[in-house]
Structure 1
Amino acid sequence: MVKNLFFNKIKNATLKVANISRCYLPFPPPPCPPPEPLEPPEPPAPLEPAPDPPPLPPFPVPDILPAI
């Protein structure tokens, strides 16, 4: 019995909120404005080749490798 009263109060409050919010919502929703035409993008600038990196120094190799 108490449970039914509690749920009835929630149901009534929910219906009241739904009725109030329905009054303030524009129905039907306003139409969206037409999209603005996009300007064509500028062509990318030509890429310049990167300069060659300096040569690496020779890797020192020991004459005798340590025994593992």
Structure 2
Amino acid sequence: MKRPLEVYERPHCAACGQLFTWEQVTKKREGRKLRFCSNNCVKIFDDYLLPTYGSDLLMTLSGSVFETP
């Protein structure tokens, strides 16, 4: 029997960190598929987070923001 996922293991938004409860938006950035809670968070990620922190930002994100095959 599989154990339930802990909160930190459940999918989170790559921009704001919000835990997903319903829908999510998946976008490919820097060769990785990232999860976002809305198109607004995609815009924040593209217009602020990625230009400010660069592609090294992806190395600091929790594994729960990446979509797995």
Q: Same fold (TM over 0.5)?
A: no
The structure with the greater share of residues assigned to strand is 2
Normalising by the smaller structure, the TM-score range is: under 0.3
Q: Larger Rg: 1 or 2?
A: 1
Could you say which structure has the greater relative contact order, defined with CA pairs below 8 angstroms and 6 or more residues apart? Answer: 2
- Name the TM-score, length of structure 2 as normaliser: 0.22
